[in-house]
Amino acid sequence: MALDRITLSDFRNHATSQLEETARFNLLVGENGAGKTNILEALSLLAPGRGLRRAALPDMARSVGAGGFTVGARLTPGDGGEPVQLGTQVDPARPGRRRVRVNGAEASAVSLGEWLAVGWLTPAMDGIFMGAAGDRRRFVDRMTLAIDPMHARHASRYESTLRERNKLLSDEAPPDPLWLDGIEAQMAEHGSALAQGRARMVGALVETLGQQPDQPFARPVLAIATESPFERDALQAALLANRQQDRRAGRTLIGPHRDDITVTMAGKGAVAASCSTGEQKAMLIAITLAHGELASRGRPGVLLLDEVAAHLDPVRREALFERLRETGAQVWMTGTELAPFEAIQGEAAVWRVSEGSLEKL
């Protein structure tokens, strides 16, 4: 199955754009600022979550438009079955709310994950190993969400109850113990599911990456660094035991919101943060490819790769294309010129993007 007949209306700098006759590889070529990444962002909204830029919905609407936007696509089965129409839109009258439709019927954003597994890699993610732990948690959560759409619900509920508990802990008046009991029960339920989902994702990535050679992409080894129990009852007991300490701190000091994801380079044994920029990029690509392989096993997979080929030498580019073929996912890539994609031009659909307009080449 693959995405086809993709339409963008009033999205970023695209007034009206349509992409048809797509392929396994799809290339978007044009100058910086032409609107290539905007197309990838639009496609990322055909999955649960906030998209690859994590932007506010009003910011995605075309600046000279009415204040809303629409993104739609046809998911075409490879077996000749009926296509599925997927769409998401923001009404100008309610710019902070995203609506989703599947085959014309109202649906939830989470339900999009039942049809597509979408993953991406952008230049903004290059510093993920050097950044805050929260960046790495979101990275793993987004990969988990692509395979388990319910992961979003657990993350949202956990964050909501965490904020509520922190508010009670930071109040001058002592919180009602019974009220805290109820909040902590919900935190433990969703926090346990959140932590276990991450653990399954990291375990699956480690297994998949373990089957790959150390070269030409540096092979990363992932692990979860946590001081919190994964099991629900144990997490609830830990929250209860930590109340006094948390109240002194004015915030919750234990739970999956404090976890980190450690990454080391196989063979070299060095933590990712101490590796070279090129090694970090190679490990990030390896993780993305492994996730693309995992995500494509259960449902159609889509990989969005922004400027991923430009900084690779010819050997690594060819290896990247071969690995992308193996994932089984439909691939969308951007670049400022066609030269880096010479090896796959014969099997790719290509569009030139210019100031929010598309030309099929």
> What pLDDT is recorded for position 271?
95
The answer as to whether 40 is a domain residue is yes
Residues facing 335 on adjacent strands? 29
Of 280, 222, 272, 256, nearest to 137 by C-alpha is 256
The count of structural domains within the chain is 2
**Six-digit token string for 176:** 């009602």
CA 284 – CA 120 distance, rounded (Å): 11
Q: What are phi and psi of 290, to 5 degrees?
A: -65, -40
CA 252 – CA 272 distance, rounded (Å): 28
Do residues 174 and 144 share a domain?
Answer: yes
Contact 272, 129 (CB under 8 A): yes
> pLDDT (tens digit, 9 = 90+) per residue, 4-35?
999 999 999 999 999 999 999 999 999 999 99
> What pLDDT is recorded for position 214?
74
Do residues 188 and 284 share a domain?
Answer: yes
Q: Which of 283, 298, 313 is the last residue of a domain?
A: 298
The answer as to whether 59 is a domain residue is yes
Residues facing 355 on adjacent strands? none
Q: Which residues of the chain have pLDDT under 50?
A: none
> What pLDDT is recorded for position 68?
95
Do residues 181 and 239 share a domain?
Answer: yes
Q: pTM here?
A: 0.92
Do residues 157 and 278 share a domain?
Answer: yes
Do residues 321 and 229 share a domain?
Answer: no
Do residues 189 and 288 share a domain?
Answer: yes
> What pLDDT is recorded for position 79?
65
Q: Which of 282, 298, 314 is the last residue of a domain?
A: 298
Do residues 148 and 29 share a domain?
Answer: no
Q: Is 234 helix (H, G, I), strand (E, B) or coil?
A: helix
Q: Which of 254, 283, 298 is the last residue of a domain?
A: 298
Do residues 268 and 326 share a domain?
Answer: no
The CATH number of whichever domain residue 331 belongs to comes to 3.40.50.300
Range of the domain at 35: 1-116+299-361
